[in-house]
Structure formats: structure tokens, C-alpha cells
Amino acid sequence: MEFQNFIDERILVSHDALGKKQMKIKVLEVSDESPPSQWKFGDRVKINKILITIKHLETQEVEEGELDIETVENELIEKRHYTSTNRWVPTKDIKNGYVINSRHTMLISDAAALDLIVF
């Protein structure tokens, strides 16, 4: 493997507030919709489905689940009349199919609001 292709695992993993869980998000499906204002925001993709892997550090138990962000977003709009998910992610923030940790909260915010994910 060349050095320029090396991805540090630490930028792909986020931790909960107590340091008891780790989370990784893999992109499963992106929309073919073209991004608005490419000149202003750069190259971005709209993510539809993700695979979330949560590891409990105390027990080493691993949970994995697929999340359709588009469906969750529509459900939240219907139930609570708002949504906080921004599914547009810069292409530079996706490394080897995984979303970097600084974008995790942005992608799972609606699912957390509906108590589908507890992290």
C-alpha cells in the first residue's frame, strides 16, 4: 500500500460522550441527484443509505444496522414537521467508502431524534 492511499482508522471512528462506544459509518447508497451550487460548496454527494457499526468497548459486542436516511428524514418531517439531517457530504469526507467522524452526527441526527439510534 502506498503512503498516500493510507487512511488512519482514527478519522473514521467516533466515540460517545462517556468513551464506552465507537461508531463507524459506511456509505451503502448515494443519490444520482446533482448537487446545487457546486462552485460554492465543492464536490458533494447525497447519501441515501448507510451501514452503522457500533462497538461497545466494555463488552467488545458489535452491533451493525442499515439505515435509510431518506426514509428517516421523511418520517421525521411527517411526525415533527422539521428535519435536521444534511445528507450532502463532501467527497473528500468519504474515505474508502467510510464517512469521516466529523460528519457522523450530521448523518444520524434524525434517527437519534426518533430514538432509532442511541449513541
- Report the pLDDT averaged over residues 69-98: 87
On the question of pLDDT at 3 being above 70, the answer is no
pLDDT tens per residue across span 4-15: 667 788 999 999
- Per-residue model confidence (pLDDT) at position 81: 82
Alpha-carbon span 76 to 67, nearest angstrom: 14
Tell how far CA 60 is from the center of its chain.
22
Contacts of residue 84, defined as CB under 8 A and 6 or more positions apart, other chains included, come to 109, 110, 113
Query: Residue 65: which H helix or E strand, with range?
Result: strand 62-68
Give the domain ranges of the chain: 3-68+88-101
Q: Model confidence over 13-72: pLDDT tens digits?
A: 999 999 999 999 999 999 988 766 665 667 889 999 999 999 999 999 999 999 999 899
CA–CA dist 104, 109 (Å, integer): 8
DSSP string for residues in 15-31? E-TTS-EEEEEEEEEE-
**pLDDT score of 8:** 83
pLDDT of residue 82: 79
Q: What is the mean pLDDT of residues 65-87?
A: 86
C-alpha–C-alpha distance, residues 14 and 63, integer Å: 15
